[in-house]
Amino acid sequence: MAKTYGEDLRGRVIAAVVGGMSRRAAAARFDVGVSTAIVWVRAFFDEGRRTAKPKGGDKHSHRIEAHRDTILGAIVAKPDVTLDELVALLKQVHGASFARSSVHRFCVRHRLTLKKRRRMRPSRTARMWPAAGRLGSTPNLTLIPSS
């Protein structure tokens, strides 16, 4: 994405046009594109804006944030709910279609963790760390030695 021009250059182009110079002449004088000068001057006359609009940022999270109470209520009701179940719930209750990744980003923004960990039996063929080999223990993948 291109970098924005400085505010001082934008102000000088606008001042030149307000002072009587044409938009094309101001663009040539300050070495900017003709369409750029036209857009800057139009924004100044229409909106009174001399600054650039903000770039980047999140533009779509407001869609899922509208269903915040439904999502948080589902998580309170069933703490081990999966992302796919939340997607299906939003589709069923509100008719809103969201990708699983959108629901995941919502959970990350609100610091919610929905990670599931499987309880595994000891392996019969590979070496495992002794603490991870008992039934009901939580496997810790950082402790499994590489072979």
- Quick: pLDDT tens for 102-118: 999 999 888 887 666 66
- Same domain flag for 13 and 42: yes
Domain residues for the domain of 14 are 7-47
Do 75 and 104 sit in the same domain of this protein? yes
The predicted model scores a pTM of 0.47
Residue 84 falls within a domain, yes or no? yes
40 within some domain: yes
* pLDDT given for residue 80 in this prediction: 83
**Structure-token match 């004088």, residue found:** 29
Please check whether residue 142 lies inside any domain of the structure.
no
- Please count the structural domains in the chain: 2
With H, G, I as helix, E, B as strand and everything else as coil, classify residue 62. helix
More confident residue, 87 or 120: 87
Residue 35 lies in a domain: yes
147 domain-assigned = no
Decide if 71 is inside a domain.
yes
pLDDT score of 79 more than 90? no
Dig out the tokens for 126 from the structure. 């590979």
Give residue 15's pLDDT.
Answer: 96
43 and 74 share one domain: no
Q: Are residues 91 and 65 both part of a single domain? A: yes
127 — pLDDT class (breaks 50, 70, 90): low
Query: Would residue 73 count as lying in a domain?
Result: yes
Q: What is the C-alpha separation between 97 and 137, in angstroms, rounded?
A: 38
Task: Tell me which amino acid residue 28 is.
Answer: A
What dihedral angle (degrees, nearest 10) is formed by the CA atoms of 103, 105, 106, 108? 130
The answer on 105 and 66 residing in a single domain is: yes
pLDDT for the residue numbered 28: 96
Whether residue 143 has pLDDT greater than 50:
no
Residue 31 pLDDT: 95
121 within domain boundaries: no
Q: Check pLDDT > 70 for residue 147.
A: no
Q: What does the pLDDT look like over 6-65, one tens digit per residue?
A: 999 999 999 999 999 999 999 999 999 999 999 999 999 999 999 988 887 777 788 999
